[in-house]
Structure 1
Amino acid sequence: MDLPIVVGVDGSEPSMRAVDWAADEAALRGVPLRLVHASLWERYEGVSLAQDLVKPSEQVMAEDIARVAAERARLRQAGVKVSIDVLPEEPEYALVRESREAIVMVLGTRGRSGFVEMLLGSVSLTVAAHAACPVIVLRGSHDNQVRAGRRGRVLLGVGEHGTDSAALRFAVQEARLRGATLDVVRAWRCPAHESTDHPLMAGEPARLHEQHAVEVLADALKDVPPDLEPRRRTLEGPVRQVLLAAAHEADLLVVGARRSPERLGLQLGRVAHGVLHHAPCPVAVVPERG
C-alpha cells in the first residue's frame, strides 16, 4: 500500500494553501492524501473558516474544518484519494507521529510576528525538526493561493555530507516529478585569518576554498542520472544567505537536517532553521541519518 502525503489542517489560510499544495503533490506522485486536524478543542485561530460553520461543539467544529479541507482537496485534484482524521491531542505530537507512516508531510506557516508569516509558528518548526519523513513548509505566498511552479526550478543546498544524501534523492525526485531544473548550490567562504594583502598570494586562499566546494559538489552529484543535467553553482558567502538569495528563483528549496538519537531539542541545524524562517519559497526539510 502506498504511503500517503499527510497535511496538517486547522482552518487557517496557511493550512488551506497546504491542502492545495499537498493535493498537487499527491497527484504528481500517484499516492493518497491524508488530512489531519489535531487539537485539544481549546481554541481555533484560523481566519478562513467557512462562515456558515456555526456549531455548538468544538469537536464538531474540528470535524467540519477537516471536511471542508477534504472537499477543497477533491475539487483541486479529483483523482486523488482523500481521507481525514480528527485527533484530540496536541498537533505537534500528533503530526510527528503521523510522519512515521507518511511519504511527505505538508504544513502551512503560522507566524506570530508583526510581519506576515515572517517567523515560523511553533507547530511547523517542531514537526520539521522531528518528523520521520520529509516536511514541506509553505513559504513565500500570502494570498491563499497555490499555483503551479512558475520558475521551473528545484533548489538544493549541498553541505559537507553531500554523498548518499536523502535530501539529494528527494530533490532529484521532485525535479523529475515537476519537469523542473535541479539547481544545486554549494556555499563556500574564505576565513578572514587566511586572507593576505601580499600581491603574490592575493586570491590563493579563496581559490583553494572554492576548489574544495567544486569537489564536494562533484562528489555529491556523481550518481545523479545524467539526463537530469543539474545546474551546479558554487557561491561565496554564508550558507543561509546564499540559499535565501538563490531561493528567489526557485519553486522549492530542499535542505537536509541531520537526526541523531543522542541529541535533544530541535534537530534542524542553523541553515535549515534559518531558511524555514525566511525563505521566499516553500522549503522541504529532509531527515538525514547521523
Structure 2
Amino acid sequence: MDLPIVVGVDGSGPSLRAVDWAADEAALRGIPLRVVYASLWERYEGESLAEDIGKPSEQVRAEDIVRVAAERARLRRAAVEISTDVLPEEPEYALVREGRRAVALVLGTRGRGGLAEMLLGSVSLSVAAHADCPVIVVRPGNDNQVRVGARGRVVVGVGEQGADSAALRFAVREAGLRHASLDAVRAWRCPAHESTDHPLLVGEPARLHEQHAVEALDRALKETPADVDLHRLTVEGPARRVLLNASHEADLLVVGSRRNQGHLGLQLGRVAHAVLHHAGCAVAVVPEGM
C-alpha cells in the first residue's frame, strides 16, 4: 500500500491552503491523502456534551474541521483517495508520529491574517524540527502560490552533503513531477581576513572561494538526470539571504537539515529556521540521512 501525504489541519485559513497544496502533491504522486486534526480537547472539554448530538462539543468541532478539509481536497482533486482522522493528542507529537508512515507532511503557518500569519507557529516549527519525513510548510501569499506550476521553478539549497543530499534528491523529484525548472543554489563567502590590499591580488581570494563553490556544486549535481531543466547558481552572500531572495520567484524552496548526534529528530539550523519564517514560497525541510 502506498504511503500517503499527510496534512495537518486546524480550521484556519493557513491550514486550508495547506490542504490545497497537499491535494496537489498527492495527485502528482498518485498516492493517498490523509487529513489529520490533533488536539488535547478531552483535557479541557471534560464531559460537556453538545446538544442533541451526545458527543463532546469540541469533538464535534474537530470532526467538522476534518470533514470540511476533506471536502475541499475532493473538490480540488477528485481522483485522490482521501482519509481523515481526529486525534485527541498534542498536535506536535501526533503529526511527528504520522510522519513515520508518510511520504511527506504538509502544514500551514499560524494565524488568520496580517502580521500573525507571517510568523511560523510553534506546531509547524516543532514538527519541521523532529519529523522523519520531509515537512512542507505552505507560506502565506496569493492563492496561486499553491497551484502546481504557477511559477515553474523549484529552488534547492546545496550544502556540504553534496550528491548524498536527501534534500537534493527530493527537489529533483519535485521538479520532475511539476515539469518545473530546478535552480540548484550554493552560497559562498570570502572571509574578511582573507582580503588583501595588494594591487596584484585584488579579488583573488574571492575568485578562489567562488571557484570552490562552482566545483562543489558541479560534484553535487553530476548524477542529476539529463531530462531535468537544471540551472546551477553560485551566489556570494549568507546562505539565508541568498535562499530567501531566490524564494520570491519559486513555487517551492527545498532545504536540508542534518541530525545532531545525541538528539531525537532533527535540529533546525539557522538557514532552515530563517526560510521557514520568511520565505516567499512554500518551504520543504528534508532531514538528511533519511
TM-score normalised over the length of structure 2: 0.91
Structure 2 counterpart of 1:48: none
Verify the 8 A CA contact 1:112 1:121 in the aligned structure 2.
Answer: no
Verify the 8 A CA contact 2:139 2:283 in the aligned structure 1.
Answer: yes
Amino acid at match of 1:62: A
Q: Trace 1:103-252 onto structure 2 (pairs within 5 A).
A: 103-110=103-110, 115-141=115-141, 146-252=146-252
Q: Percent identity?
A: 76
**Structure 2 Cα separation of the partners of residues 252 and 264 of structure 1:** 27
Structure 1 counterpart of 2:50: none
**Structure 2 Cα separation of the partners of residues 5 and 271 of structure 1:** 25
Q: Shift of the alpha carbon at 1:150?
A: 2.0
Which segment is superposed worse, 5-14 or 131-140? 131-140
**Structure 2 Cα separation of the partners of residues 192 and 21 of structure 1:** 43
**Structure 2 Cα separation of the partners of residues 26 and 68 of structure 1:** 18
**Structure 2 Cα separation of the partners of residues 195 and 268 of structure 1:** 32
* Corresponding residue SS for 1:10: coil
Structure 2 counterpart of 1:52: none
* Corresponding residue SS for 1:163: helix
**Structure 2 Cα separation of the partners of residues 57 and 230 of structure 1:** 52
**Structure 2 Cα separation of the partners of residues 232 and 144 of structure 1:** 26
Q: Trace 1:244-263 onto structure 2 (pairs within 5 A).
A: 244-263=244-263
* Corresponding residue SS for 2:117: coil
Structure 2 counterpart of 1:50: none
Q: What RMSD over aligned residues (CA atoms) do the two structures have, in Å?
A: 2.1
**Structure 1 Cα separation of the partners of residues 59 and 208 of structure 2:** 61
Q: Shift of the alpha carbon at 1:140?
A: 3.9
**Structure 2 Cα separation of the partners of residues 162 and 8 of structure 1:** 31
Q: Shift of the alpha carbon at 1:112?
A: 9.2
**Structure 2 Cα separation of the partners of residues 144 and 88 of structure 1:** 33
Amino acid at match of 1:253: L
Structure 2 counterpart of 1:38: 38
Verify the 8 A CA contact 1:27 1:77 in the aligned structure 2.
Answer: yes
Structure 1 runs, 4 residues or longer, greater than 6 Å off:
none
Q: Shift of the alpha carbon at 1:35?
A: 0.4
Verify the 8 A CA contact 1:184 1:230 in the aligned structure 2.
Answer: yes
Unaligned runs of 5+ in 1: 44-54
Q: How many aligned residue pairs are there?
A: 280
Q: Shift of the alpha carbon at 1:129?
A: 0.5
**Structure 2 Cα separation of the partners of residues 16 and 175 of structure 1:** 24
Amino acid at match of 1:36: V
TM-score normalised over the length of structure 1: 0.91
Verify the 8 A CA contact 2:132 2:265 in the aligned structure 1.
Answer: no
Verify the 8 A CA contact 2:5 2:33 in the aligned structure 1.
Answer: yes
Structure 1 counterpart of 2:69: 69
Which segment is superposed worse, 107-116 or 235-244? 107-116
Verify the 8 A CA contact 2:109 2:139 in the aligned structure 1.
Answer: yes
* Corresponding residue SS for 1:228: coil
Q: Shift of the alpha carbon at 1:89?
A: 0.6
* Corresponding residue SS for 2:287: strand
Q: Shift of the alpha carbon at 1:32?
A: 0.1
Verify the 8 A CA contact 1:17 1:144 in the aligned structure 2.
Answer: no
Verify the 8 A CA contact 1:14 1:144 in the aligned structure 2.
Answer: no
Verify the 8 A CA contact 1:13 1:144 in the aligned structure 2.
Answer: no
Unaligned runs of 5+ in 2: 45-54
Q: Would you say 1:278 and 2:278 are equivalent positions? A: yes
**Structure 2 Cα separation of the partners of residues 27 and 245 of structure 1:** 29
Q: Shift of the alpha carbon at 1:261?
A: 4.5
